[in-house]
Amino acid sequence: MPHFDYPCPDCRATTSLHDADCRFEGTPWVEVERAYVDIVSVLAGGPCDEETLRREAPGEWGPLQQAALRRLKRDERVSDANSGVLRLRTAEEFREEVSEPTREPMRTLHQYGSVPGCHDNAVFAMIAWYEMVGLSWPETRENVVNWLRDTGAWDRGGFEEATPAELVEKKRHVYEAGYGWKEKAVSAKRVIDRYRS
Ligand SMILES: [Zn+2]
């Protein structure tokens, strides 16, 4: 199944397997990608407000373009921190600022770490997250190993492997396949919330 560089603006799928309730199910990928490219190409020329973006986007502005812009903001590829001025984050800025997840469900995973009963899902989600934000495999491995140690997840036990590094290395296929993090992160957060309450 082909994978796409840009996620579906609604459900974040990067294949033609959308979530059941996705509003863009069946939309040709070429249209999805064009919506993103139109936005990015305008913003690559410099920051501007949304009205200017709509006017200067090469294609017609519609619900798909609107959703793609919202997705770029939510994924923090585009910053609107400066009172409505849209700005494309540089790759470096994105990696530095965004690789730390600040939104749920990833925030809970990142902050509290995994607990027995959700290790598989939590580690999967963390690796998929770092892949999504553009970290290399060595950076991802280092971050996930540190996360297992620093959050106390490793000390909570329930792992078959001898070391965090061994565990993360065994999950390299998750990074290479570019799986989505959302579903696994939601499941893991549910278990972590229960554990903490
Ligand atoms: Zn979708």
Amino acid letter, 20? A
Give the C-alpha separation, 181 to 169, whole Å.
18
175 vs 2, residue with greater confidence: 175
Could you give the CA distance from residue 149 to residue 160 in angstroms, rounded to a whole number? 15
Can you give the pLDDT at residue 90? 84
Distance 158 CA to ligand 1 centre (A): 35
Measured torsion, CA atoms of residues 167, 14, 87, 97, in degrees rounded to the nearest 10: -10
Residue 65 C-alpha to ligand 1 middle, in angstroms? 14
Dihedrals phi, psi of 87, to nearest 5 degrees: -140, 135
Average pLDDT over the chain, rounded to an integer: 91
87's enclosing H/E stretch is strand 85-88
The pLDDT assigned to 96 comes to 73
Distance from the alpha carbon of residue 13 to the mean position of ligand 1, in angstroms: 5
Residues 90-133 have pLDDT tens digits of 877 877 776 778 889 999 999 999 999 999 999 999 999 998 88
Q: How far is the CA of 27 from the centre of ligand 1 (A)?
A: 9
Q: 61 alpha carbon to ligand 1 midpoint, in Å? A: 19
Closest CA to 88 of 71, 67, 72, 68: 72
pTM value surpassing 0.85: no
Q: How far is the CA of 78 from the centre of ligand 1 (A)?
A: 20
Rounded to whole angstroms, the Cα distance separating 148 from 123 reads 9
User: From the CA of 21, how far away is ligand 1's center (Å)?
Assistant: 8
Q: What is the mean pLDDT of residues 62-81?
A: 90
Please tell me the distance between residue 129's alpha carbon and the centre of ligand 1 in angstroms: 18
Report the alpha-carbon distance of residue 179 to residue 114 in Å, rounded. Answer: 19
Percentage of residues of the chain with pLDDT beyond 90: 66
CA distance 38 to 60: 9
% of the chain surpassing 70 pLDDT: 97
CA 84 – ligand 1 centroid, Å: 26
Which pLDDT band holds residue 75 (cuts at 50, 70, 90)? confident
Pairwise CA distance, residues 124 & 5, whole Å: 20
Instruction: Give the distance (Å) from ligand 1 centre to CA of residue 146.
Output: 33
Give the Å distance between the CA of 20 and the centre of ligand 1: 8
88 C-alpha to ligand 1 centroid (Å): 23
What is the Å distance from ligand 1's center to 71 Cα? 11
Q: Quote the ligand 1 centre to 104 CA distance (angstroms).
A: 19
